[in-house]
Structures are given as structure tokens and as C-alpha cells.
Structure 1
Amino acid sequence: MKDQQNFFSNLKSDLPASIVVFLVAMPLCLGIALASGAPLFSGIIAGIVGGIVVSAISGSQLGVSGPAAGLAVIVLNAIQDLGTFETFLLAVVIAGVFQIILGAIKAGVIGYYFPSSVIKGMLTGIGLIIFLKQIPHAVGYDADPEGDFAFFQLDGHNTFSELWYMTESITWGSLVITLISLTILISWDKPFIKKTFLKGVPGPLVAVALGIILNVWFDNIPTLDITSEHLVAIPVANSVGEFFNQFTLPDFTQITNSKVYIVALTIAVVASLETLLSVEATDKLDPQKRITPTNRELVAQGAGNIVSGLIGGLPVTQVIVRSSANVQSGGKTRASAFLHGIFLLICVMVIPEVLNLIPLASLASILLVVGYKLINPKQFKVLYKKGFNLFLPFIVTVIGIVFTDLLKGIGLGMVVGIINILWNNFKVPYHLDPQNIDLKDPLVIQLAEDVSFLNKASIQRTFNKIPNGVEVILDASKNHSIHPDVLEIIEDFEKAAHEREIKLSLVGFEKIGKYDPESDFHKLF
């Protein structure tokens, strides 16, 4: 009961945010379906299910789920490999079952192992992609599908070459709408708007409404006329029966097809990873810094994919584009995600013709602002000042995402982060300056609480730097665990100490682990 009260306790903030998320999600659902080689309506179904089903189960207060651009290539290839879209839907249902199992075995903890610098790089990289991808749409060059976030495209172009080609195909009506919409969106955050009665009206809604009006008006002005390819394109059903005919059932006769399970497992793993990354990123954007229960999120995503697959939808994940739009629009609870799903359902049923009057330029303007806020140019300077150890994984992640895709970019950032960890472990877990050793005083080396095999190189290097003829106290009194490989290095040093005229004292090793009873090292204790 308490959870239900919380669900509807912030409608004043959640309702306007849900409208913005709905406006952002709608063309993305269609574009991702197009990029996936699936029926356009399957993208809308996934958006509805992600909004209504997933948010009802999820513990994420600001996350928004729906079809993900990161799965587009996997879906495209899977439909071709399995032969029919209905067989693919069966794989989506089974993928949902796999995700529920992942949640049940507590696999959600994986998301906590990604460094904050990589997560920030992911947000910035996605922001850059959104910004760059929307520039062509902003000027009326819509050859690149709205939901295609890949750098290299099927037509041989790429994200940057599209910026060149768009100069040859500018639609002046779209450009005018973009400039007016951006003016509205930027002005809406200014004090002179917030002090008027307009403060309760979402700026993106005003921009879209004005875009529809201008689109209709430009029909009478040849130089500004906006043709249908530059508008939203939602399938229009002429009757209730025709609407429900757009839903598709999975082909359960393929339940014994091994290829279905391979595709299902692939979707489950990739969708779960994208969800966990989005959860981590969205939680960092949350002004209240709430923590999403990741295992519950995997169960929610699994339930969503089961439902989506059963009625003809694409796979769903939590997606950062819509989630960040939700945060930046003032969403407070998961009610905003739920309501955006309701709006998708109602609008495709009742007013698809009105939605098809929305210029893509209006939506591009909203996403340009969302992308810029995600990029947050100031953080480049902040992270650089904090040190190269943070900045390098961050910038590699950004570049990797922009030039490859989401998962590869994050993978590159993680590799750099791991190399950085290895390098730091190569360094001595204590300070030793051979130039300032006083031969009259014992040299005390205090081991850290945990010494892993990653410390082998640093400890060996330290022992090699110790001058001959000094007194050394190797203190493990604060140590909780030490890897056997490191113990071997210490044992070798103990053997060599006599020849180097080093007086070695070992302190605190009695409580550490079990030693080989035949070793000379063990006999010390």
C-alpha cells in the first residue's frame, strides 16, 4: 500500500516528465524497429510494455524501458537467421525467462563493478551520439533512421559523413521549426518564464505543439513545405480489429529449435548488461541519489520481455536516452515511466493521425537539448583535474561509444580501467625511497590489509631496491590476507637476506594462512 501511495505521490512532477519521455520515446521506438528490420508497430509495443509492465514491477524510480538501439543489430541478424519474425518473438519470450533466472540468482551485482569514470564516459558518449545524430534531422535530412545509433551505417555512410550529406538536402521548413523549438526549449529554463503561468507547462510539449501548427501552416508555403518523410510515421488503424491485427503471436512450434535458445541467451545477456549499465548511470543522474535494486530490475525486464514477445514486440531494456530525458524533465518516481507507456498506448489507438503531423525537427530539438545536458562539457575539465587515472578511462569510453557502439565502448573503457588497476598494483602498496634510507635505523615495510598476486611485481621490485647490509622489519600485523605467490617471494627474500647481509625480522605472519611444513619459511614460526 505504501509503495502504491509513493507511486502516485509526485504526479505534479511526474506527469509533465512523462509527456516529454513519451515525445522522445515515440520516434525512437519506430526508428529502432526500422533499424532492426522488424515491423514498425513492434517498436511501439515494446515501448508500451516497457512503460506499463516493467515500471510496475521495477524498483527503479527514474529508469525508463523500451526497445534499445544497442540490440538493433542483434535483432536484425536474429530475424534473418531464424527465418520468421514469429520465431524471433519466441526467442524474446525465452530471453525474458532467462532474465528472471538471472535476477533470482542475484546476477544484478555485476552492475556495481563498473567504475564511475566509465559510467560517466557512457553518459557523455551517448550524449554525443544523440547530439550528432539529431543534427541532420534538425535540418530536415532524414535519410538516417531516427533510432539508428550505429557509427557505421548500412548505406555506407557514418555519423560524421551524414553531417556533410545533410548540407545538400536541407529542408528549410524543418530548419525554421528547429530554430524556433530550440529557442523555446532554452528559454523555458530561464527565470522570466518560470515567473509566469507557463512554468507548469512542459517546454517540449509547447515546442511539439508549435511544430504541428507550423507544419500545417507551411503546407501553403512552397519553400517551407514539409513532406511526409520528415514527419513522424505511426501506423494508422482504421478500425479496432485492424488495430489488434497489428499484434503478432510467437511461433511456439519452434520451441525445440536450438537456434531459438542461442538467440534468446544472446538477447538476455546483452539486454541485461545494457539494463544494468543504464541503471548505474540513471542512479548517478538521480538528484536524490536513490539506489535501484538490480536483481529486481532484471526480474522486471524479464517479465517485460515475456509480455513483449507474446504480443509481437521487440526486446526491451532500460535505456539511458529516455531515462535521462525523464530526469532532466523533473521526473520524481516510476509513475512517469508508467504514464509514458499509457500515453503511447492511448495515442496510437486514438490519435495516430495527429501524431503523424509532428515534424521530426521538433523531436530533434528536444533530443539536442537532452544530448547537450548529457555531454556536460564542464565535466571534461573537472575529470582532467582529478587525475589521468580517472580521465583516461572516461575519454576512451566516450571515443569508443561514438566510433563503435555502446557495449564495445564500455568494454574499451573497462580495459583501460583494468590496466590502470594493474599498474597501480604494480606500484608498491607502501612508500620506499632507497635514496633516503638511514642505515642506522631499521627499514620497516608495513604490508597492506590485503595483498594479492597483483602485488607480486611491486613487492619483488621493492626487495630488489633494498640496499645490502640494512635491518629490515617486514610487518604483516595489519594484514588480513596474502596470496601464496607473494609468500613465495617473501620466502625467497628471506633466503637471500643472509647472503646480502640483511637482518630480516618478520612480524605478524603467524596468523596468515597455512604454510608448507617442509619449507624453510614455515620453520621461522
Structure 2
Amino acid sequence: MSTKQKRFIPADGLAGLKQNFTKDALSGFLVFLLAMPLSLGIAKASGFPMIFGLVTAIVGGVVVSFIMGSRLSIKGPAAGLIVIASGSVIAMGDGEIGWHLALGVVVVASLLQILFGVFKLGKLADFFPSAAIHGMLAAIGIIIMTKQLHLVLGINPSELKGKEPLELLGMLPSSIMHENAHLAEIGLACLLIMILMSFVKHEKIKKIPAPLIVLAVAIPLGFALHIKTDGEIAGFALVKIGSISEAFKNGLINVDFSGITTHTGIFIQYVILYSLIGSLESLLTAKAVDGMDPFKRKTDYDKDLIGVGIGNTICGILGGLPMISEVARSSANIGYGARTRWANFFHGLFLLIAVLVGVQFIEMIPNVALAAMLIFVGFRLAHPKQILHTLYIGREQLIVFLVTILITISTDLLMGVGSGILLELIINLVNGASLKNTFKTNITLVEEGENYTLNVKDDLVFSNLLGFKKKFQAIPQGKYITINVSEANIVDHSSIVTMNGLVEEYKDGGGKVLVLGFENHRQLSKDPTSTRILKLS
């Protein structure tokens, strides 16, 4: 590959549309095939009218593409917010009333999200320890599966209303005994397809969206088994979204803000959850997408938060779910060869066309097919490999990971994440961190011509990491940096992961970085990112 090819960066804006039309349009179409059933399933699982899952994805593509800070991320509803969305609807009264009131929460949280970006708080994603974040995502995956496992067997959704995750797990043997044979056959076949497609290695076959194959099998099976005319299941067997005109029969505004006064405590709780967890998930995805971008472009995280916040404000007013930068669709977008933000736009445009002219086809989809897709998404979030990987990083990280999962499942997301953060703080204190340095770094920056030295003393842990990051990012590009940690009492896992990312990014920009002093520390595990503690002299 020539030097010129290596340096090629796709144009943005209208020039990018003209330059990359074929690649972005094709990728947008393939992502649309992936996004349509997932958006429907996420909306259904969240307690929102199903068509509004598509509305969110349409806004995320057609509107947010022009204001987002990333180039290749796909904006839309995400499985990671199902627990918060469904919880807010139920807490606000359930059904249509709960949905309208939950939209008020979405709008207020979205305005906060915009403020996060305006005040450049995208960097706060680094405050959350890695084990707590992964524990939160795993807990979300488990909660998703606890309900969808019943639905994939053809159990009537009305039998599951108001049940907590642990109750749903206890009900599973009964659901297996009382499955609906025809629906379970379709659902389990769809789940098997999702699993088998995850093992496919052939490059061309891998490019076929697994949900597309699921629909190609589920719809004919539904006709063959006559589920539409089966009196016992006809009411819930197939997707029912209605037309776009029905969705907005009372006008374009569906939001109701009266929950601010009638459910004040609940309203505040879910505003916090939507704004913090939604922003965090979106930022983490944007960072992951940057790592996959073949052109090494970097997301403007604050601008991206503003874009997502504006999109969420529009969705909340219209009736849609909150959106984030969604990781599965974004990684698929890159795999399909997308080059610019226009791929996200095209994915939204194709969804809009489907809503306008393809409702009859959409309503042929069995609900068990959507449940199968969500089970697979939930399993990926809570994959057993996460436990082994976390254990390899360090036993203390596994404790934080598992405690976050258990408390999230037994209480809620806010308590779960909060407990993970608190436990990580306690573990760092036990491992030698100083209480006075919990949120304060002791770092000096020495400049000598082209050489910069960052001397890290005392503690470098997730809770004071922002000070280190600020000093590092203030160094001009193309210099020679030495990071000296020889006098640091403790450098925790989250700090090492972030430091590695900063180093790689700086090297990509033409600079050089040398890290010194870790030979003075002992590792808590063999993993290169494990916590380091200063050896006693």
C-alpha cells in the first residue's frame, strides 16, 4: 500500500456523500436489515409502542447524522437501555399512561445530556471503573434474557407483567412445561440461527445480517404453522405496529411532563439513570468504534453527546425510545465497508421508507423471532467469557464485576453501578491508595525542549484519573513523552487501560511515548493491565 493510500481520509459532508455514495448506501442498507427487527424488539421489551423503536432509529439516522461527533457509529435504540426504559414505564403507571409520562423523563434527561456535551463532560466516562461498567452491562444482559426466555417459548406477555428478574428466573421451569409448541418451534429455530451464525467464519456469509436470515425463516414458518389464525395466540403471536398515521393520530407530541409533580422521586431517579447510563454507553461505543475505524479518525465525544442529546429530545417529544451509539450495529457498519456518517443516514432513510410503505411486511414477523434476537444480544452482554477475562485481570476486579451484577439484578442499575464504584474505591484503599488522593492526583510535568516527562507520585486510580489525562492531553503532538510511575503507590487497572489508550493515540499522531517505573511494582495478576502496587523497600 502506498503512502498516499495510507493517508487517505474520506471527505465529510456533501463531498463525502459524492465520494463514498456506493459504499455508504450499501452499508446503510445492510445495517437497516439488522436494525429493523432489533429496534422493534427493543421497543417491545421496553414497554414502548413498537413503531416508536423505528422512529428512534429513523431520527438517529436521518437527523443525528448531521450533528454527531463520530463518523461511523450507528445511532438508535439499544438493548442496554431496555431495563431503564421498561422500568420507567412501569414506575410511571405502565401501559400507555406510563409510556407518555416516561417520555417526560427522556426529554429532561436528554437536555442534561446536551449540557454534558456543552460543558465538555464527555471525559467523565473515564471516572467509571472498568469492572463496574462490564458488570453493569452483564447485569443488563441477564435481565433481558430472564424475560425473553419466556417469550421465545410462546408464553403470553401478560403473564410476565410486574415480575422482577429473580422471579422470572424462578418461573422458567413452569414456562418450559407450558410452552406453546408452534411458537416455541419458531422461536428456538430463530435462536439456533443466531447462535450458528456467530460461529460462521466465511467472510461472505458473515456479511449477511443474522436477523435477516431469522426473518427469512420465521415468517414462512409462521404461515406454515397458522399462528395468525390460532385463537389462543393470535393476539400476541405477530408484531403489531400499526401505521405511522395511527401512531401520531393525536398529533406529533406524545410527551407528558406531569410526572415531574406526580412521581417526583421516580422521575428524578430515571432522569439520572437515562442521562448517566445512556451517555456512558454511547461514549464507550464511540471509543470502541474509533478503535475499529480503518482511517483512525477520532470522535469529538462532547459533540457526539450533544448530537445524541438533541436526537433524544426529539424522540422523547415524538414518543420514541432514547438512542445511543449502538455497538453491534456500529461494528457491523464498519464491517460492511462504511466510510462516513452517510451510512448512518442511509440506515435511517431505509427505515423511514419501510415505515411508510412496508408495514404489512413488518407485521408478518412473529414476536418470538424478536425474542430470540434479544436473547442473543443479552447473552453477548453477559457472556461467560467476561467472568474468565475479568478473573485473569485480577480477583479484585472479579469481585467488583460480580457484586455489580448481583446488586443490579436484585435492586436497580443505579444501586448496582454505585456499589461497583464504592467497592472499587474500597479495594484501592486496601491496596495502598491514600484517602486524601482519592480524587486528586500528584503529577508534575517537566518540559525540556522536545522532551516532556510526566512524574506520577502517590496514587493513580480511576477516581483521580482525569487529572493525569488532562496533563497528558495538554502536551503538543509529535513530542517525546516519558511517563514515570516509579513513585506511584498504586496504579489501578482502569488507569492502565486508559493510559494505554492515550499512548497508542499519541503514537498514531506521530509522537513517541516511554513508560518507566513499573519494574518497581508488583502485579495483582499476570494480565498486563492488572493493578500495580509499589513494592516495599
Find the counterpart in structure 1 of residue 370 from structure 2: 363
Distance 1:251 1:386 in 2: 45
The answer for the alignment partner of 2:241 in structure 1 is 234
SS in 1 for 2:87: helix
Could you report, residue by residue, the CA deviation over 1:197-217 in whole angstroms, capped at 9, with x for unpaired residues? x56532320211221111011
C-alpha RMSD of the superposition: 4.3
1:78-89 matches, within 5 Å, as: 78=92
**Structure 2 match to 1:126:** 140
- Equivalent residue for 2:64? 54
Q: Deviations over 1:270-317 (max 9, x none)?
A: 32212232134424654617754332232113212332244x314524
Q: Which residue of 2 aligns with 1:397?
A: 404
Q: Confirm whether residue 17 of structure 1 aligns to residue 31 of structure 2.
A: yes
Q: Does the Cα contact within 8 Å between 1:272 and 1:317 map onto a contact in 2?
A: no
Bigger share in strand: 2
TM normalised by structure 2 equals 0.65
d(CA) in 2 for partners of 1:427, 1:101: 33
**Greater Rg by CA:** 1
- Which amino acid counterpart does residue 389 of structure 1 have in structure 2? E
Query: Contact 1:92–1:306 at 8 Å: present in 2 too?
Result: yes
Aligned match of 2:414 = 407
- The 2-side partners of 1:451 and 1:200 are apart by 49
Task: Using the TM superposition, give the Cα deviation of residue 176 of structure 1 relative to its aligned residue in structure 2, in angstroms.
Answer: 1.6
**Residue type matched to 1:110 in 2?**
L
Q: 2:130 aligns with which of 111, 116, 121?
A: 116
Do the aligned partners of residues 42 and 184 (structure 1) sit closer, same or farther apart at CA in structure 2, a change above 3 Å counting?
closer
33, 49, 64: which one aligns with 2:75: 64
Residue 27 of structure 1 contacts residue 232 of structure 1 at CA under 8 Å; is this kept in 2?
no
Uncovered stretches (5+) of structure 2, i.e. residues with no partner? 1-9, 436-454, 462-485, 489-537
Q: Return the alpha-carbon distance in structure 2 between the equivalents of residues 292 and 407 of structure 1.
A: 27
Pick aligned residue for 1:327 from 328, 331, 343 = 331
For 1:126 and 1:388, locate their aligned partners in 2 and report how far apart those are by CA, in whole Å: 22
Mark the CA change 1:337 to 1:32 in structure 2 (over 3 Å): closer, same or farther.
farther
Alignment of 1:316 onto 2:328? no
**Alignment partner of 1:230: what SS?**
coil
Counterparts of residues 128-167 of structure 1 (less than 5 Å): 128-143=142-157, 152=164, 158-167=167-176
- Determine the structure 1 residue equivalent to 2:465: none
Cα distance, 1:259–1:340 mapped onto 2, change above 3 Å = farther
Counterpart-to-counterpart distance in 2, 1:87 and 1:135? 28
Residue type of the alignment partner of 2:45: G
Query: Does the C-alpha gap of structure 1 residues 116 and 200 become closer, same or farther in structure 2, counting only changes over 3 Å?
Result: closer
Mapping 1:88-107, distance limit 5 Å = 92-93=106-107, 95-107=109-121
Report what 2:428 is aligned to.
421
Deviation at 1:231, TM superposition (A): 1.9
Question: Are the aligned partners of 1:185 and 1:204 in contact in 2 as well (CA < 8 Å)?
Answer: yes
Aligned residues: 418
Aligned letter for 2:208? V
1:230 CA drift (Å) = 2.2
Task: Supply the distance in 2 between the matched residues of 1:145 and 1:66 (Cα, whole angstroms).
Answer: 25
Q: Amino acid of the residue matched to residue 279 of structure 2?
A: L
CA distance in 1 between partners of 2:53 and 2:207 (Å): 31
CA contact (8 A) 2:43 2:53 kept: yes
TM-score, normalization by structure 1:
0.66
Correspondence for 2:191:
182
Displacement of 1:3 in angstroms is 2.3
Q: 1:220 to 1:386 in 2, by over 3 A?
A: closer
Instruction: Give the alignment partner of residue 272 of structure 1, picking from 261, 269, 275.
Output: 275
Specify the SS of the correspondent of 1:64. Answer: strand
Take 2:374 and 2:137, find their aligned partners in 1: how far apart are those partners?
14
The whole-number CA distance in structure 2 between the counterparts of 1:143 and 1:79 is: 17
SS of the residue corresponding to residue 383 of structure 1 reads helix
The answer (yes or no) to whether the contact 1:139–1:361 under 8 Å persists in 2 is yes
* Mapped partners of 1:340, 1:162: distance in 2: 38
CA distance in 1, matches of 2:145, 2:240: 22
Alpha carbons of structure 1 residues 343 and 268: separation in structure 2 relative to 1, 3 Å: farther
Structure 1 regions of 5+ residues with no counterpart?
Answer: 429-447, 455-477, 481-525
1:288 aligns with 2:292: yes
**Secondary structure at the residue paired with 1:233?**
coil
Q: Is the 8 A contact 1:234 1:348 kept in 2?
A: no
